[in-house]
Amino acid sequence: MESLMTYMAAFGLAAGAGAKAAIPVLALGAFSYTPYFELSQRFAWIAEPAVMIVLGVLVFVEILVDAHPDLGRFSDVAAYLPKVVAGFLGFAAVTGTLDDSLVQLGASGVLGGGTAAGVHWLRNQIRRPFRDLAEDTHETAGKFASVGEAGASAALAGTALVAPPLSALMLVGFVAVSVVAMRTVDGRRIPCGQCGEPISPGALVCPHCKAELG
């Protein structure tokens, strides 16, 4: 049972990294000062005050960049690397398998990094159409979306360390909602008359080729 709880917590942290990379790692450092979680010696550096300050700044920068439509589109792709790394760190820190063996190291990388990458991919499938529909028109929409993702990441990370089963349920719920949202968005989009990429009905400008539609 303890092993199951451990892996639930590990997947929860990795999933949180898929939403916002720095938040789960920051949560590891913060929760190490509470009775709920203790970092092993090999990961004690995460809880160092200087490291946590840097992580806090990274959280702010990540939210700010993602809230801007143009920068956010770039980060949709560029964020894969830091999120995979954060997912790997979170998974390895909870399971304690960073340097026990190359097999365990690879398992942490594949499971943790893969979970973070998968969550980020699902997030992109929802966020990109939302940028096209709302964020380009309403500046505050991107801010609310970015802050909402940060809240989801913090919730996944926090519950992973305090109540792993709840974190697992949240992850399953996120995947289910994402699949439904993707199908709904795809069903309502039509091909652009110029480039053929899917766009929202009634769009005046194609977000892909920038062609004016009339």
Identify the CA nearest to 12 among candidates 149, 146, 121, 169.
169
Distance CA 90, CA 117 (A): 13
In this predicted structure, what is the pLDDT of residue 72? 80
152 versus 188: which is more confidently predicted? Answer: 152
Give the orientation angle of helix 164-188 with respect to helix 2-19, to 10 degrees. Answer: 40
Note the pLDDT of residue 103.
67
**DSSP string for 158-196:** HHHHH-HHHHHHHHHHHHHHHHHHHHHHHHH-EE-TTT-
pLDDT range class, residue 35, cuts 50, 70, 90: confident
Residue pLDDT, tens place only, 130-184: 776 665 566 677 788 888 889 999 999 999 888 888 988 888 888 887 777 666 6
Model pLDDT, residue 1: 47
pLDDT at 164: 87
User: Which amino acid is present at 141?
Assistant: A
Torsion-angle region of 205 (φ positive above 0: left; ψ -120 to 50: alpha; else: beta): beta
* Cβ contact 57:22 at 8 Å: no
Structure token pair of residue 126: 């929802």
* 54 has a pLDDT exceeding 90: yes
- Of these ranges, 24-28, 121-125, 176-180, the one predicted with the greatest mean pLDDT is 24-28
At 20 the pLDDT is 93
Give pLDDT, residue 172.
85
Q: Compute and round to an integer the Cα radius of gyration of the chain.
A: 19
- 69 vs 147, residue with greater confidence: 147
- The whole-number pLDDT of residue 83 equals 94
* Range 108-125 average pLDDT: 88
Average pLDDT for the chain? 82
Closest to 192 measured CA to CA, from 210, 177, 176: 210
- Which residues lie across from 199 on neighbouring strands? 190
DSSP single-letter state for residue 43: G
In tens, the pLDDT along 75-92 reads 888 899 999 999 998 888
Buried/exposed code over 58-86 (b: 16+ C-beta within 10 A; e: otherwise): bbeebbebbbbbeebbebbeebbebbbbb
One-letter amino acid at 25 equals: V
Strand partners, 212: 205
On the CB side of 46, CA atoms within 13 Å amount to 25
More confident residue, 117 or 212: 117
